[in-house]
Structure 1
Amino acid sequence: MKPRYRVRADGTDIRAVVPMESKAVSLVDDRGAWHTLIREAMAGDWQRNVEVKLDSVLSHSAVFRCVSLIASDVAKMRIRLVQVDDDGIWSETTSPSYSPVLRKPNRFQNRIQFFTNWMESKLTRGNTYVLKERDNRGVVIRLYVLDPTRVKPLIADDGAVYYELQQDTLAGQTLEAVMVPAKEIIHDRWNTLFHPLVGLSPIFANGLAATQGQAIQSMSAGFFQNGAQPGGVLTAPGAIADETAKRLKEHWEANYTGKNRGRVAVLGDGLHYEPMTAKAVDAQLVEQLRWSAETVCSVFGVPAYKAGVGTPPPYNNVEALNQQYYSDCLQIHVESVELCLDEGLELKGPYGTEFDIDDLLRMDTATQIDALTKATTGGLMKPDEGRKKLGLKPVTGGDAVYLQQQNYSLEALAKRDAQADPFSPVPAEPPAVTPEPANDDEAQARATLALLEKDFREALNA
Structure 2
Amino acid sequence: MGFLKWLGLGRPRDAPPVQDNVRDSSGTFLFGTANSGERVDEKSALQISTVYACVRLLAETIASLPLHLYCYIDDGKEKATDHPLYKLLYRQSNPEMTSFVFRETMMTHLLLWGNAYAQIIRDGRNNILGLYPLLPENVEVDRNENGELYYIYHAYTDDVPGERDKDIYFRRDEIFHIPGLGFNGLVGFSPIAMMKNSLGTTLAVEKYGASFFKNGAQPSGVLEHPGVLKDPAKIRENWSAVYGGANNAHRVAVLEEGLQYKPISLPPEDSQFLSTREFGVEEICRMFRVPPHLVQSLKHATFSNIEHQAIDFVQHSITPWAVRFEQAIIKDLLLETEQDSYFPKFNLDGLLRGDYQSRMNGYATGFSNGFLSPNDIRRLENMDPIPDEMGGNFYMVNGSYVQLKDAGIYAKNGQSNTEERNS
| TM norm. shorter chain > 0.5 | yes
Distance across 2 between alignment mates of 1:41 and 1:165: 20
| Separation of aligned partners in 2, 1:98 and 1:380 | 32
State the match for 2:215 in structure 1. 226
Residues 59-117 of structure 1 deviation map (CA, whole Å, 9 limit, x = unaligned): 10011111111101111101012233345x44434224332222221101111111101
Kindly indicate whether residue 104 of structure 2 is the aligned counterpart of residue 116 of structure 1: yes
What residue number does 1:94 align with?
Answer: 81
**1:177 to 2:164 alignment:** no
Structure 1 CA distance, aligned partners of 2:92 and 2:405? 53
Map of 2:279 onto structure 1? 291
Q: Unaligned stretches of 5+ in structure 2?
A: 5-17
Amino acid aligned to 1:338: E
Matched residues in 2 for 1:3 and 1:399: separation?
60
1:336 is aligned to: 324
What is the CA–CA distance in structure 2 between the aligned matches of 1:209 and 1:121, rounded to whole Å? Answer: 20
Tell me which moved more, 146-155 or 114-123: 146-155
Of 277, 294, 297, the match for 1:309: 297
Q: Distance in 2 between matches of 1:46 and 1:367?
A: 48
In structure 1, the residue matched to 2:374 is: 383
Q: 2:244 aligns to what?
A: 257
Residue 157 of structure 1: how far off its partner (Å): 2.1
For the pair 1:352 / 2:339, whether they are aligned, the reply is no
Matched, 1:400 2:388: no
Are the equivalent residues in 2 in contact too, given 1:163–1:179 (CA < 8 A)?
yes
Do the aligned partners of 2:26 and 2:187 also contact (CA within 8 Å) in 1?
A: no
Q: How does 1:200-211 map to 2 (within 5 A)?
A: 200-211=189-200
Give secondary structure in 1 for the equivalent of 2:163: strand
Q: Secondary structure in 2 aligned to 1:98? A: helix
Residues 112-261 of structure 1 correspond to what in structure 2 (within 5 A)?
112-167=100-155, 170=159, 172=161, 174=163, 176-193=166-183, 195-237=184-226, 239-241=227-229, 243-258=230-245, 259-261=247-249
CA contact 1:129–1:188 (8 Å) conserved in 2: yes
C-alpha displacement of 1:32: 11
Counterpart of 2:9 in structure 1 is none
CA 1:412–1:36 in 2, change beyond 3 Å: closer, same or farther? closer
> Which digits, 9 at most, give the CA deviation of each residue in 1:21-68, with x for residues without a partner?
xxxxxxx956699699963479xx589965323321111001111111
Question: In 1, distance between residues paired with 2:250 and 2:305?
Answer: 50
Q: Secondary structure at the match of 1:162?
A: strand
**Structure-1 separation of matches of 2:363 and 2:26:** 57
User: CA-atom RMSD, angstroms?
Assistant: 3.2
Percentage of identical aligned residues: 25
2:141–2:151: 8 Å Cα contact kept in structure 1? Answer: yes
Contact 1:318 1:363 in 2 (8 A): no
SS across alignment from 1:279: coil
C-alpha displacement of 1:315: 4.5
1:284–1:153: structure 2 CA closer, same or farther, 3 Å change rule? same
> How far apart in 1 are the matches of 2:26 and 2:346?
39
Distance 1:410 1:251 in 2: 94
Alignment TM-score, normalising by the size of structure 2: 0.84
- Tell me which residue corresponds to 1:58: 46
1:397 is aligned with what amino acid?
G
The SS at the match of 1:165 is strand
* Residue in structure 1 matched with residue 10 of structure 2 by the alignment: none
Question: Equivalent residues in 2 for 1:275-286 (5 A)?
Answer: 275-286=263-274
Distance 2:194 2:35 in 1: 19
- Name the SS of the counterpart of 2:121 in structure 1: strand
Give the secondary structure class of the aligned counterpart of 1:367.
Answer: helix
Q: Report deviation, 1:183.
A: 1.5
If asked which structure has higher relative contact order (CA below 8 Å, sep 6+), I would say 2
Contact kept in structure 1, 2:117 and 2:136, CA below 8 Å: yes
Partner letter of residue 282 of structure 1? Answer: D
- d(CA) in 2 for partners of 1:292 and 1:426? 77
Equivalences for 1:17-56 in 2 at 5 Å?
A: 29=19, 39-40=29-30, 51-56=39-44
Larger Rg: 1
CA displacement at 1:251 relative to structure 2: 3.5
Stretch moving more, 310-319 or 346-355: 310-319
Distance 2:253 2:118 in 1: 64
In structure 2, how many angstroms separate the alpha carbons of the residues matched to 1:81 and 1:282? 57
> What number of residue pairs does the alignment pair up?
400
Q: Aligned partner of 2:282: which letter?
A: E
For 1:32 and 1:394, how far apart are their aligned partners in 2? Answer: 52
Amino acid at match of 1:391: N
| 2:118/2:131 contact within 8 Å kept | yes
Residue deviations 1:317-345 (CA, integer Å, cap 9, x gap): 55532221122222221001111112222
> 1:441 matched to which residue of 2?
none
